[in-house]
Structure 1
Amino acid sequence: MYLTDYKGCASGTEGQLIRAMRTLKKILSSQSFTDKVIDFYIGRTGEMFG
């Protein structure tokens, strides 16, 4: 499998994987996503103990 490079953006199956990884990295590094995960975790642990 080869990466096809066009203006700095890979295309094809490999390009889709690279774009998906970049998008996931942006989501994981966003503060709002982190806040949602923390809120979810606190809610779940509160149900276990409360």
Structure 2
Amino acid sequence: MEGIVKAGLTESKNRVYKKDIRQIIRISFFRLLMFKRLGDWIINRLLE
């Protein structure tokens, strides 16, 4: 019985961990996109 409970706990932990990684990737990707946009905007301003 104890083993089943422990297995269930690790399973849910892994699921949460994977979800966190996905969220982190999405946030960093969004930041990268914003940073690139800002960079493009600055370059356009300098070239004007």
TM over 0.5: no
TM-score, normalised on structure 2? 0.43
Greater relative CO (CA pairs within 8 A, separation 6+):
1
Could you say which structure has the larger radius of gyration?
Answer: 2
Structure with a larger share of its residues in strand = 1
Q: Which has the higher helix share?
A: 2
TM-score calculated relative to the size of structure 1? 0.41
